[in-house]
Amino acid sequence: MSETNTLTPEQKQDHEKAGLSTETVEAIARITKGLAPEVLGATFDEALSTKLLNARATIDRQDAIKAAVEADRATRRGTQRTPMDAEQQAEAFRCIMQRCLGRPDLGVPDANLDADGLITQALTPTTGSAGAYTMPDDFVAEVEKKAGEPVKIWPLLTKRPTKSRTVKKPEVTTYITPNTGTSANVNSATTATEITATEPVFSQLEWNLEDMDARMPVKLDLLEESPINVYQELIDLCADGFAIKREYFPLRGRGHTTYSEPEGIFDTVSGITSVAISAAPTVANILDFVAQLSPRYRDRARLVMNTETLFACISALAQNIRAAQFLIGKLPEMVESEQCNEGKIAVGDFSRYVVYYIRLMQIVTSIAAERKTQEIVVTETWTGQVTQTDAFRIGTGVTY
């Protein structure tokens, strides 16, 4: 093509036509529809020939719509349609999808896919390949998951923060016993008589904090595009998982030395007195068991047992309703825990189980750019043990 400042009068006239209205350009495109692009380039100015080529695509689609309407009328008159090939099916799918998404201007069929400028397909919402795949599903942005872990034991424990992975504190194992009666020599008239010495005995308790963690890599596309709040759902599921451990370890933990776990009242803590019940629960043997606990701990005590034991106890108590008024204030609250050993009952002041922790449900996140992934890590660091073994009793051999 020649430069603008060297155009012939005829080329200048063609160049000015490039500013014609859209309708005029489309009319010229219809007239020149049979000309090849190179012929258009040689006949008209570059700008006008480009507009004509663009307009040609528009009028092709307009012709396709008109042809589709005529074909539909022909179908109702009984005229046979030509089956679509794979490309035509894909184009039909694209058009329907755009219309379902509220973009009818993009849902115009491409006339070049059919010899007659027509997309021929009978669409139905019942057959996937015939359009049903474009029908939107009813999506509810809520994840179905099981109910959360019942939290019964953890709130009863004493929890103390620390910055050290090892906590040591003294424990009194033998208390001072005052001298009384004839053993009290404070007023003895004999100068050689001394007051008998009595000293407390100390030992040391030690907590070695244990780590617990969970890691969840999530693609950024999923976080950004999912209609569900994926991040919050993962944190909720993680919180439930950690809650299970908080309920399990104080009762069933196997200890630090071998298993790097907190000490469990049933399985690890030494020095807790066991009481053999060895029978089905009755009002009498339940009261006998609770009576083994010192009164100094009984006011804040709880009876902890699994489901079978709990309902066996309730059944035994319910059969003697006349005893209800005498049980008030004497029988501790009964707590159901799925983590209890079968056939065992624990009674005691659970505030005497002390937890030291550095972190509880600490969330750490980072972006792994090379994987386009967000890494979500949740950690806890804590441990626990009984500080007063006399504050607990374990009942064994319960039958149903």
Instruction: Write out the DSSP string of 138-188.
Output: --------PPPPP--SGGGSEEEE-SSSEEEEEEEEE------GGG--TT-
pLDDT-derived band at 107 (thresholds 50, 70, 90) equals low
Say yes or no: 237 and 305 in one domain.
yes
Rounded to whole angstroms, the Cα distance separating 357 from 211 reads 10
| Nearest residue to 204 via CA among 179, 160, 168, 232 | 168
39, 71, 248, 325, 382 from 244: Cα distances, Å: 78, 66, 6, 36, 14
* Same domain, residue pair 191 and 330: no
Q: Check: pTM over 0.85? Answer yes or no.
A: no
| Mean pLDDT, range 89-93, rounded to an integer | 69
User: Same structural domain for residues 53 and 105?
Assistant: yes
The verdict on residue 185 lying in a domain is: yes
Least confident of 118-127, 296-305, 337-346, 355-364: 118-127
Q: Quick check: 293 pLDDT over 60?
A: yes
- pLDDT of 159 > 50? The answer is yes
Domain boundary (107, 134, 161) is at 134
Do 297 and 372 have their domain in common? yes
Beta strand 353-368 pairing with 158-161: parallel
Kindly tell me the burial class for residue 49, based on how many C-beta atoms sit within 10 Å of its own C-beta (0-12, 13-18, 19 or more). Answer: buried
Select the more confidently predicted residue: 25 or 278: 278
Q: Are residues 187 and 216 in the same domain?
A: no
Q: How many domains does the chain have?
A: 3
The answer on 111 and 179 residing in a single domain is no
For range 224-231, the mean pLDDT: 82
Q: Residue type at 4? A: T
Domain that holds residue 352: 209-396
Do 186 and 255 lie in a common domain? no
Same domain, 198 and 219: no
Per-residue model confidence as pLDDT tens digits over 67-78? 655 655 555 555
What is the chain's mean pLDDT, rounded? 79
Q: Are residues 111 and 122 in the same domain?
A: yes
Q: What is the DSSP letter of 81?
A: P
**Residue 192, burial from CB neighbour count under 10 angstroms (0-12, 13-18, 19+):** exposed
pLDDT of residue 233: 87
Do 48 and 130 belong to one domain?
A: yes
Could you tell me which residues come within 8 angstroms of residue 39 by beta carbon, excluding any fewer than 6 positions away?
none
The alpha carbon dihedral of 248, 253, 256, 258 has a sign of negative
Evaluated on CA atoms 15, 20, 22, 27, the torsion sign reads negative
pLDDT of 314 reads 86
Cβ proximity of 265 and 393 under 8 Å: no
In this structure, the answer to whether residues 240 and 355 fall within a common structural domain is: yes
Instruction: Please tell me the distance from the alpha carbon of residue 55 to that of residue 19, in angstroms, as a whole number.
Output: 13
- Which are the contacts of 119, defined by CB distance < 8 A and separation ≥ 6? 64, 68, 84, 88, 91, 92, 95, 109, 113
